[in-house]
Amino acid sequence: MGDDARRVVLPAADWASAVAAELVARLSDRPALRICLPTGETPGPVYAALVAAACDGRVSFDRATLVMLDAWVGLPPGDPARCDVRLRAELVDRLPRPPAAFIAIDVDGPDPDAAADRHDAAAARLDLAILGLGPNGHVGFNEPGSRPDDPTRLVRLAASSREAAVARYGATRVPTAGITIGLRRLLGAEEAWLLVTGERKASILRRCLEDPVGPDRPASWLRRHPRLTVFADEGAASLLPRG
């Protein structure tokens, strides 16, 4: 346990294909993998490479279980920013053979706390947690203040996250809250990958990996994971110590 995360730094042009190739290898070893998947802009090129690999017959998700990492609460069904909409459009619905299961977060029901509890059960046995990094150091919607034993839960979103829903992802309205797999489940996954691209993430990535671990930058808790790989492109890694 500790700061021995594997750091993979790649030129931007190679980054998505390298991450996808590593997932193709995992799936070929263990086709029934249970994976949680993020949305946002970072994983999009990886999903495109995975779709291409699946269409070429180099990988199949037909025995895999895909679990949503997080979701906005308060966006209507079909909203383009919704995480279920994005994951389906970028990956799930483009696969030539569907996954064995796609476990979405029920954000449309009357009881979001109960939906979070159900999703906590779905996230209990993850083989691989694939994660993005928020500009404030959040992971999923584990916003600053989150702790390593936090369960999957309904969360109040940081103002910057609420604004990003409209400004960056084209939401038709500002979400009211979020539901996220908690750090307890993410740290309990057999393996975790943190995907980070672009110079705009360089400063927060450095702080998450090099400053003391703590709740101000929730992604820093991932350094306690025994099998963490950070996949960064050269822009995101530009402020990390060499070597």
Residues near ligand GLP, by CB under 6 A: 38, 40-42, 69-70, 132-134, 140-141, 161, 164
Pick between residue 42 and residue 65 the one whose CB is nearest to ligand GLP: 42
> Rounded CA gap, 106 and 128, in Å?
22
Q: How near is the Cβ of 223 to ligand GLP at its closest, in Å?
A: 17
**What is the chain's Cα-based Rg?**
17
List the catalytic residue out of 84, 143, 150, 233.
143
Residue 140 contacts residue 42 (beta carbons within 8 Å): no
Pick between residue 16 and residue 60 the one whose CB is nearest to ligand GLP: 16
Active site residue 138: yes
Pick between residue 60 and residue 195 the one whose CB is nearest to ligand GLP: 195
Active site residue 56: no
Write out the H or E segment, with its range, that includes residue 232. Answer: strand 228-233
> Rounded CA gap, 124 and 114, in Å?
16
According to DSSP, the β-strands at 128-132 and 177-180 are: unpaired
Active site residue 136: yes
Q: How near is the Cβ of 129 to ligand GLP at its closest, in Å?
A: 11
Tell how far CA 29 is from the center of its chain. 22
The residue at minimum Cβ distance from ligand GLP is 132
Q: Which residues participate in catalysis according to the annotation?
A: 70, 136, 138, 143
